[in-house]
Structure 1
Amino acid sequence: MLINAETLDLVFKGFKATNTDAYLDAPSQKDEIAMNLASTSRDETYGWMGMFPNMREWIRPRHVRGMTAHGFTIKNRPFESTVEVRRIDIADDKIGVFKPAFTEMGQNAKRHPDEMIFSLLASGFATECYDGQNFFDTDHPLTLDGPTTTTVSNMQTGSSTPWFLLDVSRGVRSLIWQEREPYTFQQMTRDEDEYVFKTDNYLYGIRARANAGFGLWQLAFGSKATLDETNYAAARAAMMGFQADGGRKLGITPNVLVVPPPLESAALHLLNTETKDGGGSNPWKGTAKLIVTPYLS
């Protein structure tokens, strides 16, 4: 193949098409549990964290809920994936041998937000959220009437493999995927590029700028206790009892159970079987969608 701007453009388009097709076809679970928020700067501050405005009868002037009571900032991070292609391989028409590499690159880019989101979820026992407590904690502060305060737990302690219960039915969620710049395929193939001049190789890759962050802890429950009927029931009951500041019930209904592969069998048994181990109907059948992901480990 004659190497010139036109042929290099055709090669780039071919590599990009392979990459894009793989990206679009790859499965992803991120959208099932995280809310997608666009970013317009190097970081974003979410001042509405912790605010649950409710409806009330309008008999006096509007009751305005301030949106700056809590602030939580998510800073965008740059990410890249790059491969090197020898100029002589393109000149010798060896383009086809690179298809698997660009297919894998596209699939990995699609999976990257999943890895970020689920890894963040797993880190919630030791990572702070907007109220200054760890995302999964036994002491989230709650203000009831006037000066009366208390604490709320959204976790179960223990030494077993962690599992997570989420409510993803609302306009806000417990996890945020913040994207500043989407995953974009790029090239460095000009003769005047320093890398090309020094190495006689071309570079192709993907770049993006984004990050994962925590949303509202009230919409998630983390457990280190054994995944069984008793602990699952307790987690659901705890979430459905969560209140906003002022004591109003939040109306939370957990509907997604997230587990790592070692807990898949227990989760399937809990959510899919008709009868309990000791006999009788299983009241938890169908109460949550199951998501199994390796990124919790």
Structure 2
Amino acid sequence: MQITQGVLRALGQGFQAAFLQGIESVKPQWPLVAMEVQSTAKIENYGWMRDLPGMREWVGDRVIHNLEATNYQLINKNWEHTIGVDRNDIEDDQLGLYRNRFAMQGEVAAQHGDTLVWSSLLLGNSTIGLDGQYFFDTDHVGYDAAGVEAVYSNYAAGAAAPWFLMDLSRTYMKPLVMQKRQDVKFVNLDRETDDNVFLKRQFMYGADARYNVGFGFHQLAYMGKTALDVAAYAAARVAIGTQRKPDGSSMNVMPTHLLVGPSNEAAARQLIRLENIGGTTNPWYNSVELVIVPALG
């Protein structure tokens, strides 16, 4: 095949089409647990509300819920994936496999958000969140029914595979944050005068993006590293569901999803999907939606 600018343009369009098909073939899981925040700068600073937003009876002056100053910052990171197409392969018309590679590249790009979210979640018991403590911790600041400060724990330490109980019922408030500065786009260096062609005989096609993942509301998530059994599950539900605001009223948080990896799948299915356990009615039957996430181990 004779290499002309028209041929290169057509190849680039075909590779991009395959890339987009790869992206469209993936349904990422991260929107379930992370709220998307559009970023306009290199670094975004996050303020933390002491409790989840809620209405109150208007008696006297308004109570202003200002965002508190925090040191929690999320820096956008650059991401890329590049494929080189050898000039000889174009001249010899050996391009069939490249289209599959670009479709795979699209899949990789579409799955990357999941990779970041699940890896961040697994490190939540050792990563600082919006309140200046580990996102999953045993001594967050909470409140009792009288509005007095009390210790709140959303973490059960242990040596077992992790599992996560979450309230994912809210559209704009989630346990994690997906901060996007620039979504994935397809770019190329495919002119014969480009250095990569002159020096390496390669036309370059790639994906790049700018984004990062961080933590949102710890009140909506609980991490267990103990064995996933009836007692541990019940304790996690109580911890999440009994949270209160500074005025002593309920936060109205109730778990909706149990997220586990393959190693906890059997235990989770017995706990959530069986109507009876040991001949006794299971009170937790279908109490939450079960989500199996391979990355959670």
TM interval, shorter chain, is: over 0.9
Displacement, 1:173?
A: 0.8
Task: State the match for 1:199 in structure 2.
Answer: 200
Give per-residue Cα distances to partners, 1:167-213, cap 9 Å, x unaligned: 11123111111111011111111122211110111111110100111
1:88 has 2:91 as partner: no
Greater shift, 99-108 or 77-86, is seen at: 99-108
| Matches of 1:161 and 1:204, distance apart in 2 | 40
| Matches of 2:64 and 2:221, distance apart in 1 | 27
Task: State the match for 1:237 in structure 2.
Answer: 238
Greater shift, 221-230 or 1-10, is seen at: 1-10
Tell me which amino acid in the other structure corresponds to 1:232: Y
Give per-residue Cα distances to partners, 1:217-246, cap 9 Å, x unaligned: 000000011111111111011100112334
Alignment of 1:53-72 (within 5 A): 53-70=53-70, 72=72
Greater shift, 60-69 or 122-131, is seen at: 60-69
| Matches of 2:150 and 2:102, distance apart in 1 | 54
State the superposition RMSD in angstroms: 1.8
Task: State the match for 1:214 in structure 2.
Answer: 215
Q: Secondary structure at the match of 1:205?
A: strand
Tell me which amino acid in the other structure corresponds to 1:250: M
Q: Secondary structure at the match of 2:211?
A: strand
Q: Secondary structure at the match of 2:227?
A: coil
1:187 has 2:188 as partner: yes
| Matches of 1:98 and 1:54, distance apart in 2 | 53
Displacement, 1:247?
A: 2.8
Task: State the match for 2:136 in structure 1.
Answer: 136
Task: State the match for 2:178 in structure 1.
Answer: 177
Give per-residue Cα distances to partners, 1:242-288, cap 9 Å, x unaligned: 12334332010111111111111111121111111x21222212111
| Matches of 1:5 and 1:207, distance apart in 2 | 24
Q: Which runs of 5+ in 1 are unaligned?
A: none
| Matches of 2:30 and 2:166, distance apart in 1 | 13
Q: Secondary structure at the match of 2:232?
A: helix
| Matches of 1:145 and 1:292, distance apart in 2 | 35
Give per-residue Cα distances to partners, 1:137-167, cap 9 Å, x unaligned: 0011236699953321101122211100111
| Matches of 2:62 and 2:265, distance apart in 1 | 49
| Matches of 1:158 and 1:16, distance apart in 2 | 47
Displacement, 1:99?
A: 2.0
Task: State the match for 1:274 in structure 2.
Answer: 275
Task: State the match for 2:228 in structure 1.
Answer: 227
Displacement, 1:69?
A: 4.7
Q: Secondary structure at the match of 2:280?
A: coil
Alignment of 1:253-292 (within 5 A): 253-276=254-277, 278-292=278-292
| Matches of 1:57 and 1:147, distance apart in 2 | 16
| Matches of 1:150 and 1:70, distance apart in 2 | 21
Tell me which amino acid in the other structure corresponds to 1:119: S
Q: Is contact 1:164–1:257 with CA below 8 Å preserved after alignment?
A: yes
Tell me which amino acid in the other structure corresponds to 1:16: Q
Q: Which runs of 5+ in 2 are unaligned?
A: none
| Matches of 2:241 and 2:51, distance apart in 1 | 17
Task: State the match for 1:4 in structure 2.
Answer: 4
Greater shift, 47-56 or 161-170, is seen at: 47-56
Q: Is contact 2:72–2:132 with CA below 8 Å preserved after alignment?
A: no
| Matches of 2:42 and 2:295, distance apart in 1 | 26
Q: Secondary structure at the match of 2:290?
A: strand
Q: Is contact 1:51–1:67 with CA below 8 Å preserved after alignment?
A: no
Cα distance change, pair 149–57 in 1 and its aligned pair in 2 (3 A)? closer
| Matches of 2:270 and 2:147, distance apart in 1 | 45
| Matches of 1:151 and 1:226, distance apart in 2 | 23
| Matches of 1:197 and 1:267, distance apart in 2 | 57
Tell me which amino acid in the other structure corresponds to 1:247: G
